[in-house]
Structure formats: structure tokens, C-alpha cells
Amino acid sequence: MITLGIALQLPLHEPILIFFVVLSIILITPIVLKFFHIPALTGMILAGVAIGPHGFHVLNRDTSIVLFGTVGLLYIMFTAGLEIDLSDFKKNRNKSMVFGALTFFIPMLLGTPSVHYLLGYNWTSSILLASIFASHTLISYPILSRMGISKLETVNVTVGGTLITDTASLIVLAAVVGSAEGNVDIYFWFKLIISIAIFAIVVLAGFPILGRWFFRAVQDSVSQYIFVLAMVFLGAILAELAGLEPIIGAFFSGLALNRLIPHTSALMNRTEFVGNAIFIPFFLISVGMLVNLSSLFEGKTAIITSSVMIVIGLIAKWLAAYLSQIILKYNKVERNLIFGLSSSRAAATLAAALIGYKIGFFGEDVLNGTVIMILVTCLVSSFIVEKNAKILATQKEDNSDQTDQIIERILVPISNPKTVESLINLAVLIKNPESQHPIYALAVVRDNNEAKDRILSSTKMLEKAIQHASASDTLTQIITRVDLNISNGIIRASKDIIASDILIGWNPKLTAKDRIFGTLLTNLLENSETMIWVGKWDLPMNSARKITVIVPEYAQYEHNFDLWVGKIKYLAKNLGGKLNIYSSEKTLKKIEDTLVEIKQSRDVAYFQFKDWKDILNIRNSLSKDDLLIAVLSRKGSISYDETMETIPRFLSQNLKDSNFILLYP
């Protein structure tokens, strides 16, 4: 007779339980921390602190944790090399070299004596810790992408400088670690330089040749990914043979394969997916298990160490940005953007600190201080970058010429028979009369045992949509999707037809599941860049006597501003109501110019409005028959304001018997 049992005694020793606990943390931590606006990277480290030997001691940092953590460390460095845009670096290489030199040498020159005299470390340890100040990670880069300024020269220069300073910091790490194993003499440096040169030639010249041959010979996607993973570890092995740290080999492997793995390719997607899902979270959790935050409260040493690391690290990066501004003739805002981008630390910093701790150069104070420095610098970086990126985005020329490149394809997901007519009506009202494309009616069915029956019932709803649209002489096309959930089905369908607009109905009910995993609307906003209309109708739309539109400040600097202004023009023209527009002075002027240009300047009144908290006054001026349109922004965009998060619920509660539309360009 076989007896199955699992020991639940802490710390856990059963492999199945250990893996389950770690996977649960990887799954739950980002979902929970999203509500507190804490970066997932920091959250994983803190989770490791909680379950580690210095926390609740749920797990030991055993060989399995160390194994997966090591793989994650190499993976972080590999993806860092893989994601660097070498073409941008080549374009601005001279300016990048200037900034790269400044952002490396200033932290080294300022950090080394500061660590030696303030923290009492020897010169070798001080140099290694200063190299941690020199490296940085572009945590806030996605903010620039969302605001459409990632191609600015200052951004490219900063990215190029990142390549230089991170590479130089890793070489310092290799030299310091190598010096710990023997006497530092001329022969040591000669051997180190020769070994680095041979290693760099083999990896940077040999790996691309090998990779190009393999990708041509083997088309299987699984084999291609395994090859990429093998090259990561081959680079790490070659680095060790050359007397360098394995993370340097992984980083150089990423640089070598950079051009062979396009950023938008399926192989890149698989590489990032596996790393972000398993290996990198394992590494972050394993680092957290080393940290003893309680030591921060046991004496002054730990607090002083953390303070010195944060202050010196930020000052050094600000000085580098300031001197770059003077030499490269940038303005104050561009300087602040460079400082914000280069002030955050993460991957390389954590890797160097962990290696220094393992070989005995640092104590727990530095390891704990590194975690706190990562948290503080990431918060500082995101705040400064968002503030100055918004200013730069408003200074650049309007990109309204991109509007003409968008082909109108309106997607209408239908799930409720009661809202079919209202959604189709809205689609017809905002549709460009010159557009030859149909309205796409979509039914998404969850993939389960009842899928077949639901497809049949959904088809009847879609037929109803076609009949209703045909009454207005509008062509409609049916689309049916079977997917794991509704939002995924809508997003995939919108990509298939390259939708310009998605129309959905307002759902006043918020379940516990929605609070944890997000509503349909939040999932669409986070995973689709398509314009989204959310409509609530209690009265026939053609009864609207007045259309009130609230537009956020800086909306004119968002992509495709003219597109949604034009659609509101069609809506107002078709409904025949007066148009009242509320916004800031400059935004109103741009809206007025746009409406004049597209020949819709009559029956329009403009009112100044800046603070979303004043929306109650606007609501009180509305009658029951009026239609309110709130133009809202997505997180991270130029015109985004935190108050917008409360607007949908506010309108739902205060306009229970009236119509309103939420528009997310």
C-alpha cells in the first residue's frame, strides 16, 4: 500500500510545495501590488524577504532556489543586452559616448572616496560599490513610449549611454572580482585585458555567425528558443573561462544576438515571456530571501549605508546629466529627462551587489541598502520622467497628420440583447459617411463545454444587429470568436481587423472578481491601443438636445487628436444637438481650429475647464435629455490625471436616468 503525504512543517522541504508557493507569489504579487502602485520588481524582492529565513521562514534558500535564481540572473543580463537598440546607439554614438563617459566616471569618482571615508570600506570594495552607483536601468522608458517621444535625441543618447556605463560597470566588476583571487600586478591586468579581448571577439563576432546559420537551417520555433537559451549559458561559460563573471557573458550574448532577434518577433516574445513568467521572478525572490530588513533597525550603520547609497547615487547621476546638458547644449527639461531615465537602478545593480556580497566584499548592510536604493530611485525616476516627458511632448509638433493613415473599422462586441440596438446606433452615429468599411459586430464565446450552444444563441443576436444596421443602410459584418475570456477575444478580433474603434456598453455592476482581475474596460485599456467608446443609454439617443463634451488639458498632444474630434463632429451633426465643449484655454483653441477646418463650427460653445473635481458643476447644468461625453485618458499619457479614475463611477451614480459616453482615445 502506498501512502501519500506532504509535510507542512515550516520551513517547507517538499519540492511540490516549494514550487507551488513560489508560483503563487509570482501570480498574486503583481495583482495585489497594482492597487498600491508598487513596481512588480520591488514587490517580488519584498515577497522574498517575507518568505525567507529573515522573514516568516516559509522557505529555505536551498539549491533549487539558488539554481532558478542563477538562471534568472543570467536571463536579466541577457535580455538587457537583447533590448538595447543598437541602431539608435549608432545614430547618436558620439553624444552617447559623452553621456556614457560622464554617467560612468562621475559616480566612480564621487562614489569611491565617499564609500571609503563615510562607510569605512577598503579601496577595492569602494570601487566595486561605486560601480553599482554608475550602472542604471531604464525602468521609466515605457513612459516615453506611451507619450510618443521615445525617438527624441535625448532619449536615444541616454539609451546609448546606458550601454556604455553598464558595460563599463560590468568590466569593473570583473576586474575587482579577479583581483580578489590573486595579486594585482602587471601580469594580472595583461591577462585580464587579453582574456576580455578574446572573449569579446568570440562572442560578439562568433555568436552572430552561429546564430544566423542556425536560424536559417532550423525553422522550428521551440528549437530556436532552446538555441537562444543555450547561447546564454555558453556565453556565461566562456566568460568564466576568461576569468569574468557569468553575468558579463550573458550580457554580451544578448548584444551579439541583438540584431538576429527583432524586438517585435515571435522569438523575442517567447524569450521575454519565459523570463518574465518564471526565471526573473525566481531571481528576485531569491535575492529577497537574502535580505534582512530588520538589521535596518538594529543600529545606525545600516541606515547610514542606505542613506549614503541613495544620496551619492542620485547626486552623481544628476551631475552627469547637468554636465551633459552643458556639453551637448540641451535645455533644462531635456536635462531633467536624462537624469530621470538614468537615475533608476535594477538589474545590473542587483547583480553586482549580490556578487559582491557572495565573495565577501560587502556585508548585509550593502545588500539591504541596494534593495532600498532600487525602490527609492525607481520612484524618483518615474516621477521625474513622467513630469518632464509631458512637458517635452507638449513642445513637439502635433502629429495629427497620422490621422489620415488610420482606416476606420468600428468593432462592436455584443453580449447583451438589450444593448444591441444602442451600440449599433452609436456606431452608425460616429461612422464617417465616406467610409466604405462595414461595422463589425462581434460575439465572443468562452471556450468551455457550452461553447457550441452559446455560438448559436450569439448568432441570433448578431443577426438582430445586422437587421438594425441595415435599417440605416449601413453594412454590417459578423465576427465570432471562441476564447478563454471576453477581453482576450475582443482584443484579438480588433487586431485581426485592425480596428480603429471599439464600442462597449457600460456595466454598473462591479464584482469581487472585477476588483482583483480588472473589469472588461480596464483589461481593454491596458492591452489595446484602439480608441474605446463606453456608452450608457437610458433614453433614446436621438432625444439629445445638447451634447456636453469634457476634454482634459493637453489632449491636443495625444496621437490622433483630430480623429476623435471628427467623430464627435459626426455624432453632433447626426443628433442635431448643440455642442458645448469644456477644457483648458489652449486645448479649446485647438479643438475650435480643428472643427473650423473640418467645417463644423456652428452651434458650438466653448467653456474653460481645468479641474476634474469641478465636474459636479457641469453635471448640475445638464437636463435629463442631454448627452454627456467625458474624454478620458489612459495611464501614463500626456493628458492623464488621477482624478479620471473616479469619473466613470461618479457619472454612473449621478446620471442614473441620463445618457453618457466615456471616450478613451
Q: Tell me the three-class secondary structure of 256-289, residue by residue.
A: HCHHHCCCCCHHHHHHHHHHHHHHHHHHHHHHHC
Condensed to tens digits (0 to 9), the pLDDT of residues 298-313 reads 667 778 888 888 899 9
Cis ω before 11 (30° cut-off from 0): yes
Cα(525)–Cα(532) distance, integer angstroms: 8
Using CA atoms, how far residue 424 sits from 413, 415, 629, in Å, is 10, 13, 18
What grid cell was written down for 18? Answer: 516549494
Question: Is residue 516 over pLDDT 50?
Answer: no
Q: How far from the centroid of its chain's Cα atoms is residue 194's Cα?
A: 40
Using CA atoms, how far residue 135 sits from 67, 138, 178, 252, 470, in Å, is 25, 10, 19, 16, 62
SS3 333: helix
> Which range among 153-167, 311-325, 353-367, 541-555 has the greatest average pLDDT?
311-325
pLDDT for 183 equals 59
Question: Is residue 57 over pLDDT 70?
Answer: yes
Using CA atoms, how far residue 628 sits from 355, 546, 548, in Å, is 59, 8, 5
pLDDT for 2 equals 42
Condensed to tens digits (0 to 9), the pLDDT of residues 627-665 reads 888 888 887 778 887 788 888 888 877 777 778 888 888
Q: How far from the centroid of its chain's Cα atoms is residue 215's Cα?
A: 29
Question: Is residue 402 over pLDDT 60?
Answer: no
Condensed to tens digits (0 to 9), the pLDDT of residues 539-572 reads 766 667 788 888 888 888 877 788 888 888 888 7
Residue 264: how many CB atoms within 10 A of its CB? 6
Question: Is residue 416 over pLDDT 80?
Answer: no
Contacts (Cβ under 8 Å, ≥6 apart) of 62: 18
Contacts (Cβ under 8 Å, ≥6 apart) of 586: 553, 556
Condensed to tens digits (0 to 9), the pLDDT of residues 449-491 reads 655 656 666 666 666 666 665 655 677 777 777 777 778 888 8
The edge-to-edge listing of strands for the beta sheet with 659-664 is 476-483, 439-446, 410-413, 501-505, 531-536, 659-664, 627-631, 546-550, 578-583, 604-608
Q: For cell 518615474, name the residue.
A: 382
pLDDT for 91 equals 74
CA angle 135, 103, 93 (to 5 degrees): 100
Contacts (Cβ under 8 Å, ≥6 apart) of 15: 64
What mean pLDDT is predicted for residues 145-173? 77
Condensed to tens digits (0 to 9), the pLDDT of residues 175-196 reads 777 776 665 667 777 877 888 8
Share above pLDDT 90 across residues of the chain, in percent, rounded to a whole number: 8
Give the range among 16-20, 34-38, 95-99, 622-626 with minimum mean pLDDT. 34-38
Amino acid in position 268: M
Cα(514)–Cα(517) distance, integer angstroms: 5
Strands 604-608 and 476-483: unpaired
Between 574 and 40, the more confident residue is: 574
CA angle 27, 32, 35 (to 5 degrees): 145
Cα(347)–Cα(24) distance, integer angstroms: 23
Contacts (Cβ under 8 Å, ≥6 apart) of 56: 10, 50
pLDDT for 107 equals 92
Strand-pair partners of 532: 502, 664
Between 367 and 262, the more confident residue is: 367
pLDDT for 391 equals 81
Condensed to tens digits (0 to 9), the pLDDT of residues 219-268 reads 787 888 899 999 999 999 998 888 777 877 888 898 888 878 876 666 77
Share above pLDDT 70 across residues of the chain, in percent, rounded to a whole number: 82
pLDDT for 621 equals 78
- For helices 153-179 and 246-256, the axis angle rounded to 10 degrees is 150
pLDDT for 139 equals 67
Contacts (Cβ under 8 Å, ≥6 apart) of 525: 532, 634, 635, 664
Between 315 and 293, the more confident residue is: 315
Residue 217: how many CB atoms within 10 A of its CB? 8
Question: Is residue 573 over pLDDT 80?
Answer: no
Give the range among 7-21, 335-349, 398-412, 605-619 with minimum mean pLDDT. 398-412
Cα(628)–Cα(107) distance, integer angstroms: 54
> Which range among 77-91, 521-535, 607-621 has the greatest average pLDDT?
521-535
Cα(454)–Cα(519) distance, integer angstroms: 22
What mean pLDDT is predicted for residues 340-344? 85
Is 405 exposed, middle or buried (CB count within 10 Å of its CB: 0-12, 13-18, 19+)?
Answer: exposed
Contacts (Cβ under 8 Å, ≥6 apart) of 399: 148, 559
What grid cell was written down for 378? Answer: 525607481
Cα(414)–Cα(461) distance, integer angstroms: 8
Q: Which H or E element spans position 531? A: strand 531-536
Cα(27)–Cα(494) distance, integer angstroms: 27
Give the range among 47-61, 223-237, 381-395 with minimum mean pLDDT. 381-395
Amino acid in position 331: N
Is residue 563 within 8 A of residue 526, CB to CB? The reply is no
What grid cell was written down for 197? Answer: 579581448
| pLDDT band for position 381 (cuts 50, 70, 90) | confident
Condensed to tens digits (0 to 9), the pLDDT of residues 121-140 reads 888 888 888 888 888 877 67
Task: Say which DSSP state 579 is in.
Answer: E
Question: Is residue 7 over pLDDT 60?
Answer: no
Q: Give the mean pLDDT of the chain.
A: 79
SS3 443: strand
pLDDT for 450 equals 59
Strand-pair partners of 505: 535
- Which ranges of 451-535 would DSSP assign to H, the alpha helix? 451-470, 486-497, 512-517, 520-527
Cα(501)–Cα(508) distance, integer angstroms: 22
pLDDT for 230 equals 92
Of 114, 38, 543, 41, which Cα lies nearest the Cα of 304? 114
pLDDT for 321 equals 92
Q: In order of start, what are the domains of the chain with their CATH numbers?
A: 61-393 (1.20.1530.20), 400-537 (3.40.50.620), 538-660 (3.40.50.150)
Question: Is residue 16 over pLDDT 70?
Answer: yes
pLDDT for 368 equals 79
What pTM did the predictor assign? 0.64
What grid cell was written down for 7? Answer: 509535510
Question: Is residue 432 over pLDDT 90?
Answer: no
Q: For cell 523575442, name the residue.
A: 268
What mean pLDDT is predicted for residues 112-123? 88
SS3 640: coil
Q: Which H or E element spans position 428? A: helix 420-430
Amino acid in position 334: E
Query: Whole-angstrom distance between the N-terminal and C-terminal Cα of the chain?
Result: 65
- Which ranges of 509-642 would DSSP assign to H, the alpha helix? 512-517, 520-527, 561-575, 585-597, 615-620
What grid cell was written down for 654? Answer: 449621478
